[in-house]
């Protein structure tokens, strides 16, 4: 945990995890506990609709099949499902998107955090590619949500209906759980045999204490 690299006024905790780990579920629990959560993935999606320069760069790179047009034929958004398939398939595609979108997401986060009330003790910055994008460097602590690969595959198949081979390919394309855990301050285990809620409630108390020390 290193607050010396953080430029935020509020104690910032990164939250990450691989596909099917349950990261989004954990984020919802933190929200239920009253912790503000910034979803970097959703912010990135919104940027495609808001920023024409980024839209055009994506279309130039991956083709018009990723474009979403209105009734008049004007490009207004990006088809994220189509984009995801092409980006994973093309060498360097994911890295291109990360480099393109991450700076804009970072600006959105700074705007979001400045508008929070001073009574907030800490915030969660949720991102699937927290380490890969470099966003972890602006966090005071990082949580990784980990789960057995078999359970991750089962969750994604149930949620998205993908073939197992496709899910395994997505998992292999991401940073491994072991790599994420080695870079994290806290690890939440989200296997069927683990009680997730007690882990989060305990961690919430720890983070509140750390945020008090941070503000002194």
Percent of the chain with pLDDT over 90: 71
Percent of the chain with pLDDT over 70: 95
Asked whether residue 3 carries a pLDDT value surpassing 50, the answer given is no
pLDDT at position 173, please?
81
Residue 104 CB contacts under 8 Å (≥ 6 apart), including other chains: 44, 47, 51, 54
- What range defines the domain where residue 182 resides? 1-36+121-216
Q: Please tell me whether residues 109 and 126 are part of one structural domain.
A: no
Q: Please tell me whether residues 212 and 128 are part of one structural domain.
A: yes
pLDDT at position 89, please?
83
Q: Please tell me whether residues 101 and 178 are part of one structural domain.
A: no
Q: Which ranges of the chain does DSSP label H, i.e. alpha helix?
A: 23-32, 40-50, 52-62, 80-89, 93-114, 149-160, 164-173, 177-182, 196-215
Kindly state the DSSP code that residue 51 receives in the 8-state scheme: -
Asked whether residue 51 carries a pLDDT value surpassing 70, the answer given is yes
Q: Please tell me whether residues 159 and 57 are part of one structural domain.
A: no
Q: Please tell me whether residues 27 and 130 are part of one structural domain.
A: yes
Asked whether residue 4 carries a pLDDT value surpassing 60, the answer given is no
Q: How far is CA 48 from CA 24, 100, 181, in A?
A: 21, 11, 31
Residue 30 CB contacts under 8 Å (≥ 6 apart), including other chains: 15, 37, 124, 200, 204
Query: How many independent structural domains does the chain possess?
Result: 2
Q: Please tell me whether residues 126 and 149 are part of one structural domain.
A: yes
Whole-prediction pTM: 0.86
For 53-101, write each residue's pLDDT tens digit: 999 999 999 999 999 999 999 999 999 889 988 988 888 898 899 889 9
Among 98, 115, 132, the domain-final residue is 115
Determine the average pLDDT of the residues in 1-9. 52
Q: How far is CA 194 from CA 147, 157, 190, in A?
A: 10, 21, 6
Q: Please tell me whether residues 30 and 72 are part of one structural domain.
A: no
pLDDT at position 84, please?
83
For 133-167, write each residue's pLDDT tens digit: 889 999 999 999 999 999 999 999 999 888 898 89
Among 115, 148, 172, the domain-final residue is 115
Q: Please tell me whether residues 52 and 29 are part of one structural domain.
A: no
Asked whether residue 209 carries a pLDDT value surpassing 80, the answer given is yes
CA dist., res. 203 & res. 184, Å (int): 14
Q: Please tell me whether residues 65 and 8 are part of one structural domain.
A: no
Q: Please tell me whether residues 148 and 83 are part of one structural domain.
A: no
Q: Please tell me whether residues 81 and 61 are part of one structural domain.
A: yes
């Amino acid at each position: 945990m290193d607050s010396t690299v953080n430029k935020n006024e509020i104690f910032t905790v990164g939250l990450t995890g691989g596909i099917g780990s349950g990261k989004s579920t954990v984020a919802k629990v933190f929200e239920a506990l009253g912790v503000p959560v910034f979803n970097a993935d959703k912010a990135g999606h919104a940027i495609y609709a808001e920023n024409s320069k980024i839209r055009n760069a994506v279309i130039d790179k991956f083709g018009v099949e990723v474009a979403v047009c209105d009734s008049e034929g004007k490009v207004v958004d990006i088809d994220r499902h189509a984009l995801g398939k092409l980006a994973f398939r093309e060498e360097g595609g994911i890295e291109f998107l990360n480099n393109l979108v991450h700076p804009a997401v970072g600006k959105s986060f700074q705007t979001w955090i400045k508008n929070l009330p001073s009574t907030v003790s800490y915030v969660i910055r949720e991102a699937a590619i927290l380490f890969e994008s470099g966003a972890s460097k602006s966090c005071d602590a990082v949580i990784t949500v980990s789960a057995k690969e078999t359970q991750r595959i089962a969750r994604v198949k149930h949620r998205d209906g993908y073939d197992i081979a496709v899910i395994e390919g997505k998992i292999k394309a991401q940073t491994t759980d072991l790599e994420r855990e080695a870079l994290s301050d806290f690890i939440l285990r989200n296997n069927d045999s683990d009680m997730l809620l007690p882990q989060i409630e305990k961690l919430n108390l720890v983070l509140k204490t750390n945020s008090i020390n941070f503000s002194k």
